[in-house]
């Protein structure tokens, strides 16, 4: 499937911001199930400085600096991505065996996925997560089946409700109220998996949605999305997506490397804090408004392109984007 994504972010400030430093994660990854064919980024006003680099998780992280007064910031990312349906593989490794694989012991071989077992800023350790996960993790159950059951329970037990949570709403609070958006469901599922000693990471991306019958696709009506990736040591060992199986508790879908060919992976991290689309530090701009418009649209299939510029429910979902709250505030 060939997908074109436009992700437009606009901040309006009053009074004007005098100086700002920003960081953006807006360039889709190359994985076993997707290839980035083209990508462009327009920033207005033009940054005084900008630098792109790869972070520790393989994401493209862009730093840019604005050193003159401005009352508005616009960031528009456009990407063309070719996606594939997830391959079919089986995994029979029991969840306890995976837990033991990552339990520390002297002279035990290091596994990079171990980082995703520990707590992170948006995914703390708490007994309530372990209690919720427990029914899915019966003795001897293969991790793939246990994680799928957990995903299905979250999809069934929780209500998707826009505006019911904010970007900083603790996962524990969302667990208690049994409602939220895709970001909350991803954080809850990750917390439950880590409570069982299983590596799980946060995936930021996009999902192609479909307009109602007889309706045209509306520009800017989509949203960024979030889901979960779980490490299975006996899964397929491939260069770009080794042994990670993706689960989307919002839509009850899963697959190796991606929940489906209508998904686009943007960035990977421990939780939302690692992959916020746009954030930064500003001086000034005590009051502001934020508008985000995302459009994901299918393009006539043309196959894989040799001119790739990268290196290598369908209800509306929303992954929050952090706003600034005051001068010198985090976006």
Structural domains of the chain ordered from first start: 2-84+275-299 (2.60.40.2250), 95-273 (3.10.620.30)
Q: What is the pLDDT of residue 97?
A: 96
- Asked if residue 43 lies in contact with residue 74, where contact means CB atoms within 8 angstroms, the answer is yes
Integer Cα distance of 263 and 63 in angstroms:
26
Q: What is the pLDDT of residue 320?
A: 45
Reading the block at residue 50, the tokens are: 């900008």
Q: What is the pLDDT of residue 241?
A: 55
Q: What is the pLDDT of residue 327?
A: 29
Q: How far is residue 283 from each of residues 11, 14, 44, 66, 286, measured CA to CA in Å?
A: 14, 12, 17, 11, 9
Q: For 216, which DSSP code?
A: P
Q: Is 230 helix (H, G, I), strand (E, B) or coil?
A: strand
Helices (H), 158-199: 171-177, 182-195
Cβ burial, residue 168 (10 Å; 0-12/13-18/19+): exposed
Rg (CA), the chain: 20
Reading the block at residue 2, the tokens are: 């060939």
Nearest of 121, 117, 166 to residue 290 by alpha carbon: 166
Q: How far is residue 76 from each of residues 4, 9, 124, 250, 289, measured CA to CA in Å?
A: 13, 6, 33, 26, 17
- Asked if residue 69 lies in contact with residue 16, where contact means CB atoms within 8 angstroms, the answer is yes
**Positive/negative CA dihedral, 126, 132, 133, 134:** positive
Integer Cα distance of 22 and 39 in angstroms:
19
Nearest of 150, 125, 137, 126 to residue 99 by alpha carbon: 137
Q: Which H helix or E strand runs over 133?
A: helix 127-133
- Asked if residue 257 lies in contact with residue 241, where contact means CB atoms within 8 angstroms, the answer is yes
Q: What is the pLDDT of residue 302?
A: 42
Global pTM reads 0.88
Give the residue carrying structure tokens 């992170």.
Answer: 120
β-strands 70-83, 2-24 pairing: antiparallel
Q: How many C-beta neighbours within 10 Å does residue 38 have? A: 14
pLDDT averaged over 10-residue windows placed end to end, the chain, 331 residues: 97 96 98 96 97 97 97 98 92 95 85 94 97 98 98 97 90 96 97 98 95 72 91 75 89 96 97 96 92 93 39 39 37 33
Q: How far is residue 6 from each of residues 57, 69, 302, measured CA to CA in Å?
A: 23, 27, 19
């Amino acid at each position: 499937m060939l997908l074109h994504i436009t992700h437009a972010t606009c901040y309006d400030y009053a009074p004007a911001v005098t100086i700002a430093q920003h960081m953006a994660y807006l360039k889709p990854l190359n994985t076993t199930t997707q290839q980035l064919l083209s990508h462009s980024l327009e920033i207005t006003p033009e940054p005084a400085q900008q630098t792109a680099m790869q972070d520790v998780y393989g994401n493209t992280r862009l730093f840019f600096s604005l050193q003159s007064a401005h009352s508005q910031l616009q960031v528009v990312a456009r990407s063309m991505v070719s996606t594939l349906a997830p391959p079919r593989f089986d995994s029979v490794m029991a969840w306890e065996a995976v837990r033991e694989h990552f339990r520390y012991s002297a002279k035990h071989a290091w596994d990079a996925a171990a980082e995703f077992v520990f707590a992170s800023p948006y995914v703390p350790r708490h007994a309530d997560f372990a209690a919720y996960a427990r029914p899915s993790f019966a003795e001897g159950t293969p991790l793939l089946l246990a994680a799928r059951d957990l995903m299905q329970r979250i999809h069934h037990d929780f209500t998707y409700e826009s505006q019911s949570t904010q970007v900083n709403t603790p996962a524990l609070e969302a667990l208690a109220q049994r409602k939220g958006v895709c970001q909350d469901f991803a954080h809850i599922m990750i917390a439950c998996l880590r409570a069982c000693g299983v590596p799980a990471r946060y995936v930021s991306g996009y999902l192609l949605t479909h307009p109602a019958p007889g309706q045209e696709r509306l520009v800017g009506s989509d949203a960024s999305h979030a889901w979960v990736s779980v490490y299975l040591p006996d899964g397929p060992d491939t260069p770009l997506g080794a042994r990670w199986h993706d689960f989307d508790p919002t839509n009850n879908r899963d697959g190796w490397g991606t929940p489906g060919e209508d998904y686009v992976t943007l960035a990977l991290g421990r939780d939302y804090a690692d992959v916020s689309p746009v954030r930064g530090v500003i001086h000034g701009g005590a009051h502001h408004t934020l508008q985000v418009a995302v459009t994901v649209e299918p393009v006539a299939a043309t196959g894989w392109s040799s001119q790739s510029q990268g290196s290598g429910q369908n209800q509306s979902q929303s992954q929050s984007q952090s706003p600034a709250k005051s001068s010198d505030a985090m976006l």
